Structure 1
Amino acid sequence: MGIVLGPNRYGKAETRVVRVTRDGDTHHIKDLNVSVSLSGQMEDVHLTGDNAAILPTDSQKNTVYAFAKKHGIGEIEEFALLLARHFVDETPTISHARVEIEEYGWSRIPGKSGHSFVRSGTEVRTALVHSDGTGGTGTGGTGNGESVISGLKDLVVLNSTGSEFHGFVQDEYTTLQPTTDRVLATAVTAQWRHRGVDAEFAKSFAEARRCLLEAFAETHSLSLQQTLYAMGRTVLETQHGICEIRLAMPNKHHFLVDLQPFGLENDNEVFFAADRPYGLIEGSVLADDAPDAPAAWT
C-alpha cells in the first residue's frame, strides 16, 4: 500500500487588527479578525521537514498589520483580495491564498466627541476570498482563479407572530404539537457568492442585508425552511451581481410557559427562550446560470 500526501494548507488564523483613521477630530474605526491560509509547493516541508518553501505564519500576521497601515482598510472584500494577491504574487512557492475576514461594527456615540464608539450588537460582517494571484513576481500566480464571498453572521431576528408549523410527520416519539401561531426567531448566517471580484461591495452588502430582513419580516412562515428560501430568493432577485447564497438558520425555540398552576391563562404572551438543543436549517439558493465554484466555500 502506497502512502502519499493529500491536499494541505497552512497559515495564520485570527489576526486581530484595529485600524483608526483620523480625520481631524473625527475618527473612524475598522475592527477585523483576519485568517490566512496558503497552499502550493509544500511537499518537502511535510515529507522531510525542509522549510525552504515556507513563508512563516508570523510574516503573514505582520503583513496584515503592515497593509492596514500602508493601504488602510476599506471594504473587507477589497482588503482580503489585496492580501491574497500579495501572498501569491510575491512568494514563488505559493500558488493559492485563502483569506477570511470578520468585521466587528462600531457606531459613533452621539455628542461632541468624534472618537467615542459603541459596539454595534452581535452581528458580524464576513468576507471569504480565494486567489491564484495576478501573475506578479511570484511563479505561482495564474491570475485567472479568484472568487469573493460576502456575508454576515449572528444577525438575530424574531417574528412574534405570523409563523405556523403543522402537517409534519409524526411517529411514536413525536410530542411536538402543531401550531398556527408561534414565535419564529433565528440567528442568520448568510454567505453570498459574487459573479465577479469588482463589485461595489459596500452597496451590495447593504442591499443584500436589507433583502434578508425584508423577506424575513414579510413572509408568513409555514416553516423556517420556507422562510430561508424566501430570504435567499429575494436577495438573488434584486442583486444580479450575486449568483448564489447559502444560509444557516438555527431555530431559536420559544416555548409557552404553563401558567395554569398559578390560575393564569397564557395567550401567546409569556415564553421560555431555549438556547439548546435547537433545530438547524441550512440551504442554498442559486441563480440558474450560476457558474460552478467547487472550492469557493472551503
Structure 2
Amino acid sequence: MAIILGPNRYGKAETRLVRVTRDGETHHLKDLNVSTSLSGAMEAVHLTGDNTAVLPTDTQKNTVYAFARKHGVDQIEDFALLLARHFTTSQPAVHHARVEIEEYAWDRVPVTGHSFTRRGGEVRTCVVHHDRDGRVSVVSGLKDLVLLNTTGSEFHGYAVDEYTTLPPATDRVLATAVHARWRHAGDTPSYGDSYARVRERLVEAFAGTHSLSLQQTLYAMGERALADCPEICEVRLVLPNRHHVAVDLSPFGLDNDNEVFNAADRPYGLIEGAVLRDDAPGPGFAWE
C-alpha cells in the first residue's frame, strides 16, 4: 500500500487591516480581515522539510499591509484580485492563490470628517481564486444581515408523524440572519455597485414575498438577484430560521394575538440552497 501526499495549501489567516485615506479634513476608513492561502509545487516541504518553495506566512501578512499602502483599498474584490495575482505571478512554486476578505462597515459621524461609528451586524465578504494560468473566480457576499417580517409568513401542510407537535401557522414572524454568496459570471465593472444592487434585491425579495416556507423565500431571494443583476450567475444562501414563539399569557389572564414573542436562539431550523442560471458556467474553483 502506497502513502501519498494529498491536496494541501497554507497561508496567513485573518490579517487585520485598517486603512485610513486622508482627503484633506475628510478621512475615509476601510476595516478588513484578510486571509490568504497558497498552493502549488509544495511536495518537498511536506515530504522532506525543504522550505525552498515556501513563501512565509509572515511575508503574506506583510504583503497585505504593503499593498494597502502602495495601492490603497477601494472595493474588496479588487484588492483580493491584486493580492492573488501578485502571489501567482511572483512565486514560481505558487500555482494557485485564494484570498478571502471580510469588510466591517463604519458610518461617519457628521460633526467631523474623521469620526466614525461601527455599523452593527452585517459583514461584506469576498473570496477570490487566481491561478498561474490566469483563471479567476470572484465570489462576493455578505453575512449576518438580520431580516424580520412581522407578518406575511405561513407554515402548514407539512409531513406529520407520531413525533410531530408543531402546530400549523397561518400568520407568523419570519426572521433570519442571511449568509449569501454570489458568483460573478465574468468581468464586473464595479464590485461596489454590484454589491449594492444584489443586497437590495435580496432584501426586497425577503420583504415582498408572502412566504409559505423559508425555502420558498430563499428561492425568491436568489431569483430576484439573478433576474436584476446580469453580472452574477449563481447565488448561494444560508438562512437560519430564527424562531419567534408566541408566549402563552393565559396563566395571567391575558390574551396574546401575535404581539408578545420569545425569540429562541437555539435550536433553529437551517435552510440552505443555491439558485443559478441554467446556462451558468461551472465554478472552475471550489467555492470555499
Q: Under TM normalisation by the shorter chain, which class is it? A: over 0.9
Aligned counterparts of 2:2 and 2:251: Cα–Cα separation in 1: 69
Partner of 2:78: 78
Partner of 1:138: none
Contact 1:192 1:246 in 2 (8 A): yes
One-letter amino acid matched to 2:230:
H
Partner of 2:209: 219
Report the CA distance shift for 1:89/1:108 in structure 2 as closer, same or farther (over 3 A).
same
Contact 1:146 1:197 in 2 (8 A): no
Match of residue 186, structure 1, among 167, 170, 176: 176
**Deviation string for 1:25-77 (max 9, x for gaps)?**
11100000000000001101111111111000000000000000000001000
One-letter amino acid matched to 1:142:
D
Aligned counterparts of 1:83 and 1:56: Cα–Cα separation in 2: 15
Partner of 1:121: 120
Scaled by the length of structure 2, the TM-score of the pair is 0.99
Partner of 2:66: 66
Contact 1:129 1:148 in 2 (8 A): yes
Partner of 1:8: 8
1:185 deviation in Å?
A: 0.1
- Aligned: 1:56 with 2:60: no
Partner of 1:256: 246
Aligned counterparts of 1:173 and 1:51: Cα–Cα separation in 2: 58
One-letter amino acid matched to 2:195:
F
Aligned counterparts of 1:295 and 1:129: Cα–Cα separation in 2: 10
Aligned counterparts of 2:210 and 2:5: Cα–Cα separation in 1: 51
Contact 1:257 1:270 in 2 (8 A): yes
Aligned counterparts of 1:283 and 1:82: Cα–Cα separation in 2: 30
1:167 deviation in Å?
A: 0.4
Aligned counterparts of 2:12 and 2:189: Cα–Cα separation in 1: 27
1:11 deviation in Å?
A: 0.2
1:19 deviation in Å?
A: 0.1
**Deviation string for 1:173-203 (max 9, x for gaps)?**
1111001000000000000000114431011
1:293 deviation in Å?
A: 1.1
Partner of 2:101: 101
1:110 deviation in Å?
A: 2.0
One-letter amino acid matched to 1:124:
V
Contact 1:191 1:245 in 2 (8 A): yes
One-letter amino acid matched to 1:106:
W
Residue 13 of structure 1 aligns to a residue in which SS? strand
1:294 deviation in Å?
A: 4.5
What is the percentage of aligned positions where both structures have the same residue?
Answer: 70
Partner of 2:221: 231
Aligned counterparts of 1:24 and 1:200: Cα–Cα separation in 2: 26
- Aligned: 1:21 with 2:21: yes
Partner of 2:129: 130
Residue 234 of structure 2 aligns to a residue in which SS? strand
In structure 2, the gaps of 5 or more residues are: none
Partner of 2:149: 159
Moved over 3 A (4+): none
1:296 deviation in Å?
A: 3.7
Aligned counterparts of 1:235 and 1:199: Cα–Cα separation in 2: 17
Q: Cα RMSD (Å) of the superposition?
A: 0.7
- Aligned: 1:199 with 2:189: yes
The farther-off stretch of 194-203 and 54-63 is 194-203
**Deviation string for 1:211-256 (max 9, x for gaps)?**
0010000000000000000000000000111000000000000001
Aligned counterparts of 1:45 and 1:230: Cα–Cα separation in 2: 48
Contact 2:77 2:191 in 1 (8 A): yes
Residue 10 of structure 2 aligns to a residue in which SS? coil
Contact 2:137 2:284 in 1 (8 A): no
1:106 deviation in Å?
A: 0.2
Scaled by the length of structure 1, the TM-score of the pair is 0.96
Aligned counterparts of 1:261 and 1:97: Cα–Cα separation in 2: 61
Aligned counterparts of 1:295 and 1:188: Cα–Cα separation in 2: 23
Contact 1:84 1:131 in 2 (8 A): yes
One-letter amino acid matched to 1:149:
V
Partner of 1:142: 133
Aligned counterparts of 1:239 and 1:179: Cα–Cα separation in 2: 34
Residue 11 of structure 1 aligns to a residue in which SS? strand
Aligned counterparts of 1:13 and 1:260: Cα–Cα separation in 2: 52
Contact 1:251 1:279 in 2 (8 A): yes
In structure 1, the gaps of 5 or more residues are: 133-140
